[in-house]
């Protein structure tokens, strides 16, 4: 008996983890769209998952786990609402009855009948009433369930500070009665950028698993592509929406080529173009062409154009480094990002040599954020190696190796360091 319970418990836990990976954002969006209270929806869903880990081992995983979780979460929300009501507000039983009837309807539904309102939630989190710097972090937590520490790391903010800001932002949504809906075109200014930034961050998290072996991260990349396609469907003449989809499709097209048969890291310049997904590349090129006809160049179009200039290697055998360097220059002027300058320096080395590239890299060397940024040290090491400065290249490689968390990339850097003095 105990073995059976243990087996059922393991199955229930796996099912709950699968639902969390697959549907967390969809469930939060559905629940919070009814109440306008994201924090309450998160608490109710957390309690529903806890209830599932008690109920499912005994009664089995339901046919539609998502519908079961929504029904329980809504019941938790109703119970919480009851506790908040005073005796003087007891005239509200009609509201409670309506809520309970809605709950029963949801419980009877199937998973496919639960509407997907994530995009509406994302635009709600990007509302003008929300502090601009908190819009993308708020989307990442509500739609993906990222914890404050993970988000803080991505946005270079202390975890405690990020946690406090997220709590305040969710409270603002409730207090201001911010609606969860895709805004009219006249309302898009300042909101679309935050949504696109969050979608790109979602994809970037999934991109961190090159081989697609980590289910959660692979799902994130797929979710980001789905959301990006949805934005393009809803806003077909927004050039930056087209640019973002083109960018992430270009990147996704190269996933298979990023690791060799032994699982070792393969840098873009050494990837086999035959492994790139031609269908995704052609779709990305068509999207970029559509965007370019709208005469409104932005960050994502420039980044997609850079990827397009790399893809030319399929036909010519060499990327268009001159175009890549110019595009990074335009992107640097637009974003003032030190990360863009690093990438521009790498391209400049191909056009004008390592000395010019190192001079450009020196313009951002004082930025404190780069002290723990692995790509900066890896780029610096490579440029110093080609310039013949072995001693400083060794130091830079050591910094990059120490900062790299991916074992495959770390091995690659160690191999590059081992070649110092042999290739100069």
Which residues form the domain of 95? 2-114
Residue 300 lies in a domain: no
pLDDT at site 87: 45
Domain boundary among 84, 114, 144: 114
Q: Which of 114, 147, 172 is the last residue of a domain?
A: 114
Higher pLDDT, 289 or 102: 289
User: Which of the listed residues 80, 114, 148 is the one where a domain comes to its end?
Assistant: 114
Q: Residue 421 has what pLDDT?
A: 66
More reliable by pLDDT, 261 or 326: 326
User: Which pLDDT belongs to residue 370?
Assistant: 92
What is residue 182's DSSP assignment?
A: P
Which pTM was predicted? 0.73
Determine the pLDDT at residue 27.
86
SS3 readout for 363-386: CCCCCHHHHHCHHHHHHHHHHHHH
Name the 3-class secondary structure at 314.
Answer: helix
Residue 109 is predicted with a pLDDT of: 42
Rounded average pLDDT over 356-366: 96
Tell whether the model's pLDDT for residue 309 goes beyond 70.
Answer: yes
DSSP letter at 422 equals T
List, for residues 227-238, the tens digit of each pLDDT value.
899 889 878 889
**Burial (Cβ within 10 Å: 0-12, 13-18, ≥19) of residue 192:** buried
Average pLDDT over residues 362-366: 95
Q: What confidence category does residue 347 fall into, taking pLDDT thresholds of 50, 70 and 90?
A: very high
Per-residue pLDDT band at 102 (split at 50, 70, 90): very low
pLDDT at 217: 56
In a domain, 272, yes or no: no
Q: Is the pLDDT of residue 275 over 90?
A: yes
73/57 Cα distance (integer angstroms): 19
- The percent of residues above 90 in pLDDT, for the chain, comes to 41
Q: 265 phi and psi, to 5 degrees?
A: -65, 135
Instruction: Tell me which residue of 417, 388, 385, 387 sits closest to 401, measured CA to CA.
Output: 417
More confident residue, 292 or 58: 292
Q: Which residue has the higher pLDDT, 296 or 187?
A: 296
Give me the pLDDT at residue 119, please: 79
User: Does residue 387 sit within a domain?
Assistant: yes
Residue 327: per-residue pLDDT: 97
- Residue 191 confidence (pLDDT): 81
| Residue 289 predicted with pLDDT over 80 | yes
**Is 28 within a domain?**
yes
The count of domains in the chain is 2
Residues 6 or more apart whose CB falls under 8 angstroms from that of 315 comprise: none
Burial (Cβ within 10 Å: 0-12, 13-18, ≥19) of residue 254: buried
Q: Does residue 80 sit within a domain? A: yes
Angle, helices 2-35 vs 65-84, to 10°: value is 60
pLDDT for 196 equals 92
pLDDT at 214 over 60: no
Does 39 map to a domain?
yes
Q: Is the pLDDT of residue 43 over 60?
A: yes
Say which DSSP state 235 is in: -
Is 248 contained in some domain? no
Instruction: For residue 125, give every residue at least 6 positions away whose Cβ sits within 8 Å of its Cβ, in sequence order, or none.
Output: 38, 135, 138, 139, 142, 143, 169, 173, 194, 198
Among the listed residues 298, 322, 299, 300, the one whose alpha carbon sits nearest the alpha carbon of residue 310:
322
Closest CA to 135 of 72, 195, 75, 183: 195
**CATH, residue 390:** 1.25.40.10
Query: Alpha carbon of 260 to those of 212, 215, 255, 265, 408: distances in Å?
Result: 13, 20, 11, 7, 10
Q: Tell me whether residue 399 is in a domain.
A: yes
Q: Which residue has the higher pLDDT, 203 or 98?
A: 203
């Amino acid at each position: 008996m105990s073995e059976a319970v243990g087996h059922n418990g393991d199955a229930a836990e796996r099912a709950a983890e699968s639902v969390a990976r697959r549907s967390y954002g969809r469930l939060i969006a559905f629940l919070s769209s009814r109440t306008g209270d994201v924090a309450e929806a998160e608490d109710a869903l957390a309690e529903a998952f806890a209830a599932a880990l008690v109920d499912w081992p005994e009664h089995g995983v339901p046919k539609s786990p998502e519908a079961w979780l929504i029904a329980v979460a809504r019941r938790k929300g109703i119970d919480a609402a009851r506790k908040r009501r005073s005796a003087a507000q007891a005239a509200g039983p009609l509201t409670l009855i309506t809520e309970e009837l809605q709950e029963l309807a949801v419980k009877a539904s199937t998973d496919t009948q639960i509407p997907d309102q994530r995009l509406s939630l994302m635009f709600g989190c990007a509302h003008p009433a929300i502090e601009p710097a908190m819009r993308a972090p708020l989307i990442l937590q509500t739609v993906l369930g990222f914890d404050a520490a993970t988000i803080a790391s991505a946005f270079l903010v202390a975890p405690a500070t990020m946690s406090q800001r997220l709590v305040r932002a969710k409270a603002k949504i409730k207090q201001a009665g911010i609606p969860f809906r895709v805004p009219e075109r006249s309302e898009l200014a300042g909101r679309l950028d935050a949504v696109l930034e969050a979608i790109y961050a979602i994809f970037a998290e999934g991109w961190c698993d090159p081989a697609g072996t980590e289910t959660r991260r692979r799902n994130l990349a797929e979710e980001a592509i789905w959301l990006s396609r949805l934005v393009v469907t809803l806003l077909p003449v927004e050039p930056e929406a087209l640019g973002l989809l083109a960018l992430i499709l270009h990147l996704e097209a190269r996933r298979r080529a990023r690791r060799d048969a032994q699982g070792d890291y393969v840098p873009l310049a050494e990837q086999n173009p035959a492994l790139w997904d031609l269908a995704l590349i052609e779709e990305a090129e068509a999207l970029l062409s559509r965007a370019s006809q709208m005469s409104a160049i932005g960050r994502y179009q420039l980044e997609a154009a850079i990827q397009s200039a790399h893809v030319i290697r399929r036909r010519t055998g060499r990327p268009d480094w001159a175009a890549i360097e110019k595009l990074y220059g335009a992107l640097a002027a637009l974003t003032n990002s030190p990360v863009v300058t690093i990438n521009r320096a790498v391209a400049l080395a191909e056009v004008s040599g390592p000395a010019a590239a190192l001079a450009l890299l020196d313009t951002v060397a004082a930025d404190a954020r780069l002290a723990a940024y692995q790509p900066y040290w890896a780029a610096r090491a490579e440029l110093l190696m080609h310039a013949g400065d072995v001693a400083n290249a060794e130091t830079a490689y050591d910094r990059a190796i120490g900062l790299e968390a991916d074992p495959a990339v770390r091995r690659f850097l160690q191999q590059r360091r081992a070649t110092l003095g042999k290739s100069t």
